[in-house]
Every structure is written in structure tokens, then in C-alpha cells.
Structure 1
Amino acid sequence: MTVARPPEPIPGARLLFSLDPAVSHLNHGSFGAVPVNVQRTQQRLRDEMEANPLRFFTQGLVDRMTHTRRHLAAFLDADPDGTALVGNATTGVAVVLQSIGLRPGDEVLTTDHGYGAVDLSIARECRRTGAVTRALRVPLAATDEEIVQIVRDGLRPGRTRLLVVDQLTSPTARLFPVAAIVGVARERGVPVLVDGAHAPGMLPVDVTAVGADFWVGNLHKWGYAPRGTAVLVVAPPWRERIEPLVVSWEQDAGFPGNVEWQATLDYTSWLSAPTGLFTLRGLGLDRVRAHNAGLAAYGQRVLGEALGVAPADLPDPGGPTVAMRLVPLPPGVATTLDAARALRARIAERLAAEVSVAGWNGRGWLRLCGQVYNSPAEYERLAARLPALLARG
């Protein structure tokens, strides 16, 4: 097998980050990495806050958050009046779940590609309310048309109270046709929550065009914002029903202010987020997306070749800008959560490489990401050493 050439590096991009050069950071999708200039922006805001906390929190902070919200909403083509800043996508999901009024007999429908923490949140809300949850099985190689049909067949109008679907799945790096799924659900009167945790920055996003009742996305992954920066977008019919997880002084303002204001929360991550988008645009948004997707695809092919995986067995994420790729591990390796965590830790400790490992549908999978600070040599080095580590068990 001849592996295609990797993309050309973006000059100077690696120097924007303070990552440990002794480690190959190939898992940007989990916690992201904050550029140095964004770190400095946040530190200046923290210095301002600590110089006079009372002034920082009581004089203009709400207006500054509103300005930030509008900036991020514009980037996502979302209605700023229906967009709330939240700590992460999982927090946004929790807000939605506890606001829609689940009752005994209601059903929350998901797929088997959902993010684990979101599944746990759904399960907890179902236990609390007497509702139930059900997951649709979606084959990894399913076409967009097949995915839409699976969802269409799985909906139970009158019982399915909420459909939760990922825009880009975390465990399987699969791009879902969310706009088409939302259309099918709307025909049957089922509200949809789209988990777009990985979308902002990586994918071209038009939240309004997706048309979901609820949409959540993280800016601290692919949008170069500090960690703890995400948005919850709510369609007009639902906004008056949204309740925050914590009630504070902006409660009477209604959504989105009541969700955003959390008293003495450190808001500097949110206020720094526009600097992250400025950095991304400075590098060239389309250029970054093409580079990251191409590098992830290169890494997938290099690792696949090293592990003896046929090219046809390497999953295709279904989109030219998807910067996460899966490599199937040998049968019996990392098929459970505990085993996957243990293997990830061994790779980090012994090979100085950070990757994601997950067990999904009885198979272990290694997930690679591509980012502007990565080089082809990092994937090649992992490919040269990983087979021997797996052989040792």
C-alpha cells in the first residue's frame, strides 16, 4: 500500500501553542489546545478581575457577555437572541433535558454513536421523571440516506418526546446528516437536540439552516477558545421554557441571560473566545480545515497500514473537513471502557502519544485527530511503535 502524501504544514502554526514538544498530541478532539495569544487574553481578563472584583462583576459584565455571545453566534450563523453561553455541550444538553418537562411514558431517542456523558445525563433525567431512553443502532458504514431512514423508522410520534443526535460523533468520528434528520423529525412532531460538540471551527456550521429545536456546540475544541466555552442555541418556541441549572440574579431576564449568569463563575474563558476565532481566521479558516482533515486522513492510513488494516476497512467519515479518523484495533483489544482507558494510558506513557481509544459495538477503535500543530512524523512514529506495544498485551 502506498500512503498518500500529507498536506503541507501551515508555517509558524506550531509556535502558536505551548504544548509539550516531547509528546505527540494527536487527540485535539477531547480537550483542545489553547493558543498562546488566547491564553494571554484570558490572563489579562483575570488580572482585571482580580484588580477589582466588585467592579468586574457589577459594571458592564452582562453587556460584555452579550457582545461575546453575538460574536460567537455570528460565527455559527445562529440567532444571537436564542444563543446562550454555557460551560460545555454536556451542560447545554442537561439544561434542555430538565427544561422540556419529561413525564412517565415519554421517550428520549438517541443513537448508539452518542457521547457517553450525554447518555448518562439522559439516563439520569429519565430516572428522575419516569421517562425511558432508547438507542437506535446505526451501522458505521451506513449512508446518509440509510441513517435518515433508520431515524424515520425509529420515531414514535406521541411517545418520542425528544430525539438527540450528534452532528459529528465522538466515539466513531461519523458525520451525520443532521438537517435531513431534523426535517424527518419535524414531519412527525418530534423535537430534536443536535449535539454539535465537535462542529464549531472544524466544520462549516449554519445552525439556522440545520433547523433543530436545540443545538449545542463547544468552542474550546476546534474554535481555539479556552476550555469551558460552549453555546446552547434554542429555537423561538422553546425559549420561554428554558430554565437554568442554577438560579441566580439574571433569572428574571429569561433566556439566554438566565442560563449564562452563574454568579461568581469565572467568565474570562467566554470573554476570550473571540480571540480564538480571530486566531483561526488569521490562519485561514478553509486552509486550517483542509490541512487538519488531510493530516488526520494521512495518520489514519499510516496507522492502518502498520496494523495490517485493509484500506477498505478504514472508516470514511463522510466529509472533506472532518479532522478525526478511526483506526480499528486488532480483535479483542480495548473492547470495554476499562480496557480502552488502560490502553490509552499505556500509549501515553510508553509511546509519548496522546490518542483516544474507545470500545464501540464489540470492537476497539483508536481515534486520531489532525491539527495545525501536528506533523506527519508524529503519526509515522506512532505507527512504527504501536504494533509492538499491542503485541506485548
Structure 2
Amino acid sequence: MVEGVDVGWDRIREGFSLDPAIAYLNHGARGAVPVAVQRAQQRVRDEGETNPIRYFRDLPDRIAHTRRHLASFLGADPEGAALVGNTTIGAAIVLQSLGLRSGDEVLLTDHRYGAIAFTAERECRRTGATVRTVGVPLDASDDEVTATVTQALRPGRTRLLIVDQISSPTARLFPVDKIAAAAREREVPVLVDAAHVPGMLPVSVDAIGADFWVGNLHKWAYAPRGTALLSVAPHWRDRIDPLAISWEQGTGYPARVEWQGTLDYTPWLAAPTGLFVLRTLGADRVRAHNAELAAYGQRVVGAALGLTPEELPDPGSPELAMRILPLPAGVATTFEAAERLPERIERELSAVVGVMSWSGRGWLRLCGQVYNRREEYDRLAERLPAFLRGLR
């Protein structure tokens, strides 16, 4: 039992508040918070209302304790970690702390998350720097990915390389440790966007060797939404400033990044309960279950769409709990079309899926989570082909 909720495999769907009439196959988008974690967050929220002055007075120590707990889970130095609202906020903090100026550039790959690109573009507009994108083939090997990204670096001009550990639009695992090592040899700082890593994969952040690493715990680690961890290498910590100043500014990193006055800190304080749920279920078992389901969904839906196994993109590791498959030509080829399609699929097929537009083609993204079952992917496979034919 966790927070009065039976956390076990035999009744796992009851541990979430999801609509039972909908197949929720896109956990990677917003996550789904277990009921036990919802209760833990509400308990903290209620506590804060009993004596707000005392609650906020005690918060810095409680936040620091939570930070140490979450950093330990991720293999990150607690002294170099800071809790932030999400990966995009973490990237914005890093970008505005770099001191970019005219002639500098920020390098991204074409697998990057859209909001991260927007964040880099905004900071470059403000400072006179530029954003450049390097294309990485979807079927490139790890060595090819590393070589492609490394060759695109321009030492002395490239002030930051942003690379995904698991890409959102293409569900691809990148060899970030190899990329970070190659960039370090060229004295180019690296920010790893690890939005999907915590909870999905076992990770040792410090072993990656990146200058900056930021990942969400509210996707695959069962934390309430608004929980992420930013890890910063020692030689950068004194330069990291928050996006807004607070009374903790003089305290230094990480407190000055974390403390934002009357921010709602309950997601962070409830996040350890999410890890407790994960460990109670068995982290290895959860990961294996989720990865197997995502692979199964890719196979059965792909077969229903007439795709051969060779046409199904390899995510770069069998451990990933997200997979993509190409949609028929002409479907969701633009960002706007890809944004609209999931709502119609949910309405007509009772399934929540991800739809991406990448490299001039539409892609369907499927996830696996403990509350999913094979029959949900089977039902989607049965109904999706006719639905897509109706779009054309």
C-alpha cells in the first residue's frame, strides 16, 4: 500500500485516474500520475494551508532533501543538481547563463524537441547569436550519429550543443556519452535533453560527462507534472542564474534556481512518492513491461498498415518504451496537421496516441506503460487503417 492505494500488478489500472473508455497510448506526452502520488501531493498542499508562514519557512530544507533524493536516483551529484519545472525551463536557464553574443552559435539536431528549439532561437535573437541544425538520419548507427554531430561542431564558434538522449519526435536513443566526449575534446559545452529518460531507463547522469543534463520526472518516474532535475558540471555552477530573481539569489546555485517565492512546490515534494511507486512495482519489471508493449504496438499497428519489419524504425535500444512508425504518404506531413490528428483519433477510435511531423512525413508514436495491455494496441490496429483511408 502507498498512500492508502494498493500498488500491485493485479490491479494496476486502478492505481491511475485514467478514463477506462480510452486507450492511453501516449504516456510520453504528459505522463499519468498514480493515485498514490496524487494523494501525496494533495496532503502536502493541505499541510501548506494549515500554516502558510511555517510551511514556506521550512520549504528550502525540504526542497534540498527532495533534490538529494531525486539526484541520487538519477546518479547525479546532489550539489550540482537543481529542481526545475520541466526540461524546457532547464534549457532556458542554461541558455541565458551562457553569455551568448554575436558570432556565437547554438547547434541542435533535427531530432530536437520543438520547444527547445524555440527557446534557443529566442535567446539567440536576444543576444545576436545564431541557431544551426544538423540533420541525423533516422537509421544512423551510434558511430554514425556521433560522427555526424561531431563534424558539425565549429570550435570557437559553437557555444553550445544541445542533443537529445531520447528524442521526442523520433523516439530514438542517442549515444550522448560518446557525443559529450567528442565535444569535450573540442571544448564545446553540451546540454543533454533527457526529458524522457528518468524512469524509462536506468541512468548515471555524472557518467555521461555532459556539461548540462536535464530530465523530467513527471513522465516515466510517476512524479506530479512540473518536476524536472537540472544537473550542472562543477565548472559551470557559479555561472548559472535563474530566470527570475528571488531572496535566495545570494545563496548561489542550486537554491537560487529552485526558489521562486510562492511557486507551487508540491509536485517536487511528492515526487519521491512516485519513485516509491516505481520501486514497489519493481523498476526493472516496469521497464521491461513498458518496452515490450511499445515494441508490440509498433509491430501490430505497423503490420495493419502494410509495413514490413524493415520499415519500422529501430529506436536504438530494445529498452525504449516509445516507438514510432510511418503514416501513409500525405498524412500529417505538416506540424499543423500533426497537431490536429490526435484529437480526431481519440474521438473516433477511443485511443490517445502521438502524431509527429518529421522530415516531411507524418509519424505515429506509441508508448507502453504499466496500465496498458496488448489488446489496446490490437484494437487500434484493427480500426486505424480504415480511419486513415477516410482521411484521404
Q: 1:165 corresponds to which residue? A: 163
2:61 aligned with 1:63: yes
Q: What's the counterpart of residue 133 of structure 1?
A: 131
**What residue is the counterpart of 1:219 in the other structure?**
217
Aligned to 2:10, the other structure's residue is in SS state: coil
1:141 Cα deviation from its structure 2 partner = 0.3
Cα shift at 1:154 = 0.5
Counterpart Cα distance in 2 of 1:194 and 1:10: 33
Question: Are 2:24 and 1:25 equivalent residues in the alignment?
Answer: yes
SS at match of 1:133: strand
> What percent identity do the matched residue pairs reach?
67
Shift of 1:348: 1.1
Match in the other structure for 1:340: 338
Can you list the C-alpha shifts for 1:325-374, whole angstroms capped at 9, x where unaligned?
00110011101011111211110111111111011001100000000000
The amino acid of 1:221's aligned partner reads K
Who is 2:287 aligned against?
Answer: 289
Distance 1:32 1:81 in 2: 28
What is the CA deviation profile of residues 89-130 of structure 1, one whole-angstrom value per residue up to 9, with x for unaligned ones?
000000000001001000100100000000000000010000
Per the alignment, residue 102 of structure 1 pairs with 100
Question: Per-residue displacement from partner, 1:367-390 (whole Å, max 9, x unpaired)?
Answer: 000000001111111111111111
Equivalent residues of 1:290, 1:320 under 8 A apart: no
Q: Distance in 1 between matches of 2:234 and 2:12?
A: 40
| Superposition pairs of residues 143-222 of structure 1, within 5 angstroms | 143-222=141-220
Unaligned runs of 5+ in 2: 1-7
Partner in structure 2 of residue 15 of structure 1: 14
CA contact (8 A) 1:246 1:262 kept: yes
Aligned AA (1:289):
R
Question: Corresponding residue for 2:298?
Answer: 300
Provide the rounded CA distance (Å) in 1 between the counterparts of 2:96 and 2:297. Answer: 40
2:5 corresponds in structure 1 to: none
Question: 2:232 matched to which residue of 1?
Answer: 234
Structure 1 gaps of 5+ residues are 1-8
Over residues 229-255 of structure 1, what are the superposed CA-to-partner deviations in whole Å (9 max), with x where a residue is unaligned? Answer: 001100000000000001011111110
- Per-residue CA shift, 1:256-305, capped at 9, x if unaligned? 00000010001010000000000000101110000000000000001001
Q: CA deviation at 1:11?
A: 2.6
TM-score w.r.t. the length of structure 2 is 0.97
The aligned counterpart of 1:45 is 44
Alpha-carbon separation, structure 2, partners of 1:193 and 1:342: 31
Provide the secondary structure at the position in 2 that maps to 1:109. strand
Instruction: Give the residue type in structure 2 aligned to 1:385.
Output: R
| Secondary structure, aligned partner of 2:79 | helix
Please name the residue that 1:6 is paired with. Answer: none
Residue equivalent to 1:3: none
Task: Report SS of the residue matched to 1:33.
Answer: coil
Question: Secondary structure in 2 aligned to 1:12?
Answer: helix
How many angstroms does 1:319 deviate by?
1.1
- Who is 2:82 aligned against? 84
Paired position in structure 1 for 2:376 = 378
1:243 matched to 2:262? no
Give the deviation of 1:193 after TM superposition: 0.2
Corresponding residue to 2:327 among 326, 329, 335: 329
Match for residue 3 of structure 2? none
CA offset digits 1:166-203 (Å, max 9, x no partner): 00000000000000000000000000000000000001
Shift of the alpha carbon at 1:320?
2.2
The amino acid that maps onto 1:157 is P
Does the 8 A contact of 1:126 with 1:132 survive in 2? Answer: yes
Q: Provide the rounded CA distance (Å) in 2 between the counterparts of 1:354 and 1:218.
A: 21
1: CA distance, partners of 2:158 / 2:251:
31
Q: Distance in 1 between matches of 2:11 and 2:341?
A: 33
Contact in 2 for aligned 1:225/1:276 (Cα 8 Å): yes
Q: In 1, Cα distance between the equivalents of 2:343 and 2:21?
A: 16
- Residues 42 and 269 in structure 1, CA contact (< 8 A), matched pair in contact too: yes
Letter aligned with residue 141 of structure 1: D
Contact 1:217/1:231 (8 A) holds in 2: yes
Match of 1:362 in 2: 360
Question: Paired residue for 2:265?
Answer: 267
Cα distance in structure 2, aligned partners of 1:117 and 1:152: 23
Give the letter aligned to residue 124 of structure 1.
R
What is the number of residues matched between the two proteins? 384
Distance 1:284 1:123 in 2: 41
Please tell me the residue identity of whatever aligns with 1:307: L
- For 1:199 and 1:224, locate their aligned partners in 2 and report how far apart those are by CA, in whole Å: 12
**CA distance in 2: counterparts of 1:260 and 1:105, whole angstroms:** 31
Per-residue CA distance 1:121-147 (angstroms, 9 max, x = gap): 000001000000111100000000000
Aligned counterparts of 1:303 and 1:50: Cα–Cα separation in 2:
48
Q: Paired residue for 2:309?
A: 311
- Could you tell me how far apart the structure 1 residues matched to 2:302 and 2:318 are? 19
The SS at the match of 2:387 is: helix
